[in-house]
């Protein structure tokens, strides 16, 4: 068993809704590897249970796997807003949100994240950034004032298959992520930690 398979094994059984979503995403959607999956899903769910958020914002719904996991820890009155620009993904995510009993808790917003965020009038306890890697700095600046003091920003893929750590790798996506990581590394407004899981998650706490 490789390490990833062992992480999934140790994480216990994936529930039937998430199992179905994982399978349907692989059958029906291009680039299914963009989906969080079981190991990372359990990590996001656990963060959410620890924080007990009232408001969550996700940038990059895809087919909804991470949204369902993050919604697990919401307070009873809580809501998760999730933004996706690809309209072709709306129905599959909506179908599985309903199957998970989360239709009343998850608000799907369609459009470019920067436009949608500018129109949101909420303060968030958790923001999960998981959309276009070259635009992470733009998303970060756009959401920062909408995160409450003491709130968390979780950012996926910051290790980018180990490429951000290797300065010999200079493709545009890696350079953008490295620039973003350096900005956050030096941002006095946050406390930070890195989880070296599948592809790295930055965990930031707004002071």
Q: Which residues bind ligand SAM (CB under 6 A)?
A: 34-36, 60, 62, 65-66, 83-86, 89, 112-113, 130-132, 135
Least distance in angstroms from the C-beta of 152 to ligand SAM: 16
| Closer Cβ to ligand SAM, 176 or 186, answer by number | 176
Sign, Cα dihedral of 92, 111, 59, 49: negative
| Closer Cβ to ligand SAM, 32 or 78, answer by number | 32
Least distance in angstroms from the C-beta of 188 to ligand SAM: 27
| Closer Cβ to ligand SAM, 139 or 188, answer by number | 139
| Closer Cβ to ligand SAM, 58 or 125, answer by number | 58
Least distance in angstroms from the C-beta of 29 to ligand SAM: 9
| Closer Cβ to ligand SAM, 16 or 191, answer by number | 16
């Amino acid at each position: 068993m490789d390490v990833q398979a062992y992480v999934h094994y140790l994480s216990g059984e994936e529930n039937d809704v998430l199992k179905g979503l994982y399978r349907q995403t692989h059958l029906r959607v291009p680039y299914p590897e963009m989906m969080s999956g079981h190991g990372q899903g359990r990590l996001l769910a656990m963060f959410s249970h620890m924080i007990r958020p009232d408001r969550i914002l996700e940038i990059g719904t895809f087919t909804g796997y991470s949204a369902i996991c993050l919604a697990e820890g919401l307070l009873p009155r809580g809501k998760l807003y999730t933004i996706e620009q690809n309209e072709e993904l709306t129905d599959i995510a909506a179908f599985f949100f309903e199957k998970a009993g989360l239709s009343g808790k998850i608000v799907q917003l369609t459009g470019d994240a920067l436009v949608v965020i500018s129109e949101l009038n909420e303060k968030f306890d958790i923001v999960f950034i998981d959309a276009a890697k070259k635009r992470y700095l733009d998303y970060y600046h756009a959401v920062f004032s909408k995160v409450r003091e003491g709130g968390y920003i979780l950012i996926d893929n910051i290790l980018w298959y180990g490429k951000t750590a290797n300065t010999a790798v200079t493709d545009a996506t890696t350079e953008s992520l490295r620039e973003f990581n350096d900005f956050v590394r030096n941002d006095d407004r946050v406390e930070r930690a890195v989880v070296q899981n599948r592809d790295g998650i930055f965990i930031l706490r707004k002071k």
